[in-house]
Structure formats: structure tokens, C-alpha cells
Amino acid sequence: MIPPLIAIDSDKCKVCFACVRACPVNAIQVKSNLEAPVVVIDRCIGCGSCLQVCAPLAITYRDACEETKSLLNSGSKVVAIVAPSISGEFDDITDYRKFVKMIRELGFAYVNEVSFGVDMVAEQYRELFTKFMGRYYITSNCPPIVSFIEKFHPGLIDNLAPIISPMIASAQLARQLYGEEVKVVFIGPCVGAKDEALRYEGSSRVDSVLTFVELRQLFIEMGIKESTVEYSDFDPPLGYKGSLYSISNGILQAANLSEDLMQGSIITAEGKDNVLESMREFESSVDFIRKHFNLFYCEGCLMGPGTSHGGKKYVRKTLVTDYANKKLKDFDLKVWQKACTKHTSLTDFKAVITADDKRLPEPSAEKIEEILKVIGKQETNDKLGCGACGYESCRDFAKAVAQGLTKTDMCITYSLRSKHDFIKTLKLTNEKLARTQDALVDSERNARIEQQHAQEALERTSSMLQKLPSAIVIVDDKLRVIESNQSFINILGEEATEINEIIPGLKGADLKTLLPFQLYKLFSAVITNNENLVNRDVHLGEKLLNVSVFSIKKGKIAGAVLRDMYLPEVRKEEVIHRVTEVIDENLDLVQKIAFLLGEGAAKTERMLNSIIESHKAGKK
């Protein structure tokens, strides 16, 4: 089974949610029952935005080092096809021929440039764009762009250029050169290419994808250094202007396509924000814009997520252009043209593009408004949003909450307001304490004695409360816990147990976050109506609870006794209790009947005695 492309190590994760905010497709989910976020694999487009913002390095991508070593040790000939951006990655190596030799030292039989594959693909784009037939296209070179359209803009599938990427073209070229049985390893800056490789089979297949970071790891592991190797050039055919591919508009130069602002027919956009905006505008207004779009998710492949952290964009760009200039100085254009003609005729440029709609159903307007009210964004002016949650607007955020992709705590203003309210409450309490301090001084001794007595009484009560087998909880008018016993915590389960370790007895916890609606509404009813509710049977998960809620202080404090009816001892006790009630009721009824019978017998006796006495008097 192939591991997921992106994974989050929950042990390393600091729960800063930077990855959630960075993900352009909400593929990182925040669940209320999990501390660390999780990646929704089906929604991930492999852009690597999360990798680049994770400070504790808790996010990793699918490793290919072991897979590549297995290929190199398999006995088969293995070809390394190397992305043009490698010259920008290895700024610490003085001559590109050194890292070519270092790659050979790993065990690769051949090392070829992907830039020749770029040249072949560029020619296909030149034909597609210059022979305009009324349809505008988006380039298919960037794997995250292709995945993004397949999953979240499937309506644009027909606008994706039906042309393979330079990586796949180079894989076909390698098998044309060295035979169908060779193994092909792509070395480049793109994490998404690892999933792109899984799309293709036959002569187009790529057996493994190494990032530049993984390549450096292999160099270190095998002890290969620049100082220990000689020069070695790439195996032919060499690329021409395809060497500029790692710069976003490099493929246009390789295709000799005009970028003139007045006459050109192509718009180039790079970087997450620009690409997302360009995609929206292409979908809504392409017939007005009337341009083809050349899109790269990263700021050029130079800054891909598979490159070393801390790289400088313009330094890398300079290294790439310097490398291209140096290589093309004595370039044999005739040999290149001959190779292009030969291999282009043998290459299948048809791309594998499949609609894979991952859009979620739209939640109801009522649900969205309810969530907006919870986070305090029900006012129209507040719905634009600060963007700190990673969503463009508060309404988009509320929609994501309704879809189960995130939770309300991700709203910074909501979280801060909750904290500020708590701080404000503490401040007001402190002010009240300060105002009464002088008065307390005079009565300090008596208060201390009373406090001692109260503490002793409280300890006795709390001790007794903890020993009771039934679950007990006492709450205030805001449904915040004043006191509870261990049985109550046990009934609630693991989450309450974890909270109890931090806040003993759950004191101050909001009952609404601990109990489902059908349970905590009983407390609200008792506090509001001041009428006790006795022996209500309520389901809590797989448990059946017998609940009695009493008003302790009118409109202020309520207490409850909860018993798990499925516990053997409770079930036995309840059966005895209810049978006893029935017996008592029957005994009471029998006593009433006996009383009535007794009164009737007495009346009869008096009547008979009266008749006898009357009879005796008549005789006399």
C-alpha cells in the first residue's frame, strides 16, 4: 500500500494551525476530538504549502530514499532524469558537472537532463497556442495545478492543456534511448510529482521521485562529496532553452512564444495567491480576458517544497540563467534539432487528466448564520474577515465549520474575545476585592474562623460527595460547574478525565461543552422554572442515565444526581426501589380497605345492639 503523500506527526505537532491556514483547499482538518490536525488525503493536491510553514517540522512527505536505493541495488540499469532547477538548488557546488558526477556515484547508469523533455513539450505548446481554435488553455506542467482543477474546478478539465509534463516526456525519452526495461528516477523540486508519477504506466512510467532534499540525504548517507569527485556532463541529448523551465515563464521562451503585453496571448502567474486568483478569474471571465494561462503554484520550480529551506529566489534564478548561458555558449543547435525531430515523433504527448470532484455539499444558510452568530460575526460588516483562520471571509470559515473541516476555535477574534472576556471578568473581580479589602481587615479574625469552619464543612461535604456511588454535579445559573464528584467524571468519559487532571472536579467548566443538549437543557429548565425534575431517563451515548435535577438556590444554583442504569448494582437497587414503591402503594390501599371495612362492622354492631335493647324494653 502506498503511504499518503503528506503526513502530520502528532508527537511533534505544536498545534499552531499554521498548516491549516496555509492549505489552499482545506485539506487539513481540525477535529474537536483530536489535538493535532489531520490531512484529508483525498483533498490534498500536493502543493507543499503546509511543509513550508511548519516550524517544528512535524509535516513530512512520502519518502523515496529507500525505494530509490532498492532500484539501484536491483541489478537493473537506472536512469536519473534531473530537473533544470538543480543548478539553483546546489549553490554550494562550484560546477554543475560535479553534481552530475555525484549522482552517477550513487549508482545511476545514466544521468539525463529534463530540459530536453521541456524542449519537446514546449514545441507542443507552441502548436497548441498558435493554432488557436477558440478554446483558451491552462498549462498542465505543474502537478498541483492539475490536481487542483481535477478536484475543485472540474468544470475546467477541458481547458487543461492535454499535454504531458516534461517529467513524463523525459521518462519516455529515457526508454527510447536505453530500452523499455530501464528504471527511471526523477530528481526535482516538486512534492506533487510523487503522485503525478503514479498516473502513468508503460514507457511513461516514473519508478521513483526524489526531491532535492532527499538527494542531499543520499549524498550524506553514502559519503559522496564534491571534493572527492571529478567532472562529468549530462548524457545526451542536451536541452536547449528548456534549461530555463524552473523560471515560470521559461517554458514560453523555450517555445518561442511571445510574452508581449500588447500582442501576446499568454498570461503567466506564479505563487499560491496569484494562482488561486487567476484560476477564479479564468473560470469566470476567460471570454473577456481572452488569454491562455501559464500557471505554476510555487514561485517557479526554484522554490518548490522539495528544495532546501531558506533558499533565495533571485540567487537561485541567477544560478539557473548563468548555467543556461554557460551551457548554450558552445551549443550545437543542429544536433539538438535532429534529436528533437527524432524523439518528438516517438513520444506520446497525451496527458492523463481525470475529473475527481472533491467539493463538499453546501451547508444551509441557517447553519452558516448560526455559526456566524456563535463566533460573533453575524453583523454584515464583520463578515469580510481578517484571513488569520486561512479563509477569505468569515462566511467561508463558517461554511468550513459546518462542513466539519475546522472548528470555531480557529477564529482568532473569537478566541481572543473569549480570552478577553475572561480577563475582564477577573479584572472586575479583583476590583471588587480591592474595594472590600478595608472592610475585611476589621472582620479578618471572625472571617478566618468562619472560613475555617466553612472549609471543614466543605471538606466533609466534598469527601462525602466523592464517596457517593451516584454521579453528582452542582452548577450555577450560567451552567458552570461548582462541584462534581468522580462518578460524574467517570460517566462523561476520557475527555472529562483529561480535563479533570488539569482542573480538579471540573470546577468552572461549561456544562454545555460536557453534556449533550438533551441533558443540559434539564438544568436550564430547573434554574429557570425552579421546579425539580425527578427520575428522568436520558440516553448518553451507549448509557442510560436516571437523572434528577433539584433547585438548590432559586434561580441561581442547581444540583443533579445521575445514575448509570446499566450498572449491575444500580439496576438491582432501582428494581428493589421500584418494587418497594409498588408494595407500599398496595399496602396503603389494603389499609384503606381494612379501615373502611372496620368502620362498617362497627356501625353494624351498634345498630344490632340498638335493636336488641329496643326489643327488651318492649317486653317489659
Residue 473 in any domain: the answer is yes
Q: Does 244 share its domain with 119?
A: yes
Q: What is the mean pLDDT of the chain?
A: 85
Q: Does 57 share its domain with 100?
A: no
At residue 194, the 3 state secondary structure works out as helix
Q: Does 410 share its domain with 465?
A: no
CA–CA dist 386, 574 (Å, integer): 56
pLDDT for position 611: 67
Q: Does 392 share its domain with 536?
A: no
What residue ranges in 17-72 does DSSP mark as E strands?
28-29, 38-39, 59-61
Q: Tell me the per-residue pLDDT of 544-586, one tens digit each, with 9 for 90 and over.
A: 888 889 888 888 898 888 888 877 766 655 555 655 665 566 6
pLDDT for position 128: 94
Reply yes or no on whether the pLDDT at 212 is more than 90: yes
Reply yes or no on whether the pLDDT at 587 is more than 70: no
List C-alpha distances in Å: 230 to 96, 225, 402: 11, 10, 60
Tell me which of 244 and 375 has the higher pLDDT.
Answer: 244
Residue 88 in any domain: the answer is yes
Q: Does 376 share its domain with 462?
A: no
Residue 464 in any domain: the answer is yes
Q: How many whole angstroms from its chain centre is CA 140?
A: 27
Residue 414: which of 427, 401, 404, 430 has the closest Cα? 401
pLDDT for position 35: 74
Tell which of 523, 546, 566 closes a domain: 566
pLDDT for position 335: 93
* 256, 261, 265, 270 alpha-carbon torsion, rounded to 10°: 80
Q: Which residues of 561-581 are buried (b: 16+ CB within 10 A; e: fewer)?
A: bbbbeeeeebeeeeeeeeeee
* Averaged pLDDT, 163-192: 96
pLDDT for position 187: 97
pLDDT for position 570: 60
Residue 594 binned pLDDT confidence (cut-offs 50, 70, 90): low
Query: Which residue blocks in 42-114 are alpha helix, DSSP H?
Result: 49-53, 65-72, 86-89, 96-105
pLDDT for position 94: 76
Residue 170: which of 112, 253, 256 has the closest Cα? 112
Range among 338-347, 412-421, 447-456, 502-511 rated most confident:
338-347
pLDDT for position 591: 65
Q: Does 89 share its domain with 173?
A: yes
pLDDT for position 575: 54
Whether residue 144 is preceded by a cis peptide bond, meaning omega within 30 degrees of 0, is: no
pLDDT for position 566: 77
Residue 434 in any domain: the answer is no
Supply the pTM of this predicted model. 0.66
Tell me which of 137 and 509 has the higher pLDDT.
Answer: 137
Tell me which of 361 and 177 has the higher pLDDT.
Answer: 177
Tell me which of 218 and 456 has the higher pLDDT.
Answer: 218
pLDDT for position 323: 87
Tell which of 524, 546, 566 closes a domain: 566
Min mean pLDDT across 43-52, 266-275, 510-519 is at: 510-519
- Residue 614 cell numbers, joined: 329496643
pLDDT for position 434: 75
Q: What is the CATH number of the domain that holds 507?
A: 3.30.450.20
Q: What is the CATH number of the domain that holds 52?
A: 3.30.70.20
Q: Tell me the per-residue pLDDT of 90-143, one tens digit each, with 9 for 90 and over.
A: 888 878 889 999 999 999 999 999 999 999 999 999 999 999 899 999 999 999
Structural domain harbouring 248: 64-132+163-255+323-344
CA–CA dist 567, 574 (Å, integer): 10
Residue 52 in any domain: the answer is yes
Q: What is the CATH number of the domain that holds 401?
A: 1.10.15
Query: Quick check: 84 and 118 in contact, CB under 8 A?
Result: yes
Q: Does 100 share its domain with 23?
A: no
Q: Does 558 share its domain with 455?
A: yes
Q: Does 371 share its domain with 505?
A: no
Q: What is the CATH number of the domain that holds 214?
A: 3.40.50.1780
* Averaged pLDDT, 600-608: 67
Residue 425 binned pLDDT confidence (cut-offs 50, 70, 90): confident
Q: Does 58 share its domain with 72?
A: no
- Measured at the CA of 489, the angle between CA 488 and CA 492, to 5 degrees, comes to 90
Tell which of 62, 91, 114 closes a domain: 62
Rounded to 5 degrees, φ, ψ at 80 are -95, 120
pLDDT for position 494: 82
Residue 273 in any domain: the answer is no
Q: Does 58 share its domain with 108?
A: no
The percentage of the chain sitting over the pLDDT mark of 70, rounded to a whole number, equals: 85
Residue 146 in any domain: the answer is no
Q: Tell me the CB-side half-sphere exposure of residue 39, using CA atoms within 13 A.
A: 27
Q: Tell me the per-residue pLDDT of 361-400, one tens digit each, with 9 for 90 and over.
A: 878 777 777 777 777 776 655 455 665 666 667 777 777 7
200-205 contact pairs (CB < 8 A, 24+): 200/168, 200/171, 200/352, 203/171, 203/172, 203/175, 203/176, 203/348, 204/164, 204/168, 204/171, 204/172, 204/348, 205/171
Reply yes or no on whether the pLDDT at 592 is more than 90: no
In the chain, how many domains are there? 4
Q: Which residues contact 470 (CB under 8 A, 6 or more apart)?
A: 487, 561, 562, 563
Q: Which residues of 520-544 are buried (b: 16+ CB within 10 A; e: fewer)?
A: bebbbebbeeeeebeeeebebeeee
Q: Does 472 share its domain with 520?
A: yes
pLDDT for position 598: 60
CA–CA dist 138, 118 (Å, integer): 16
Residue 429 in any domain: the answer is no
Pairing of strands 481-484, 471-476: antiparallel
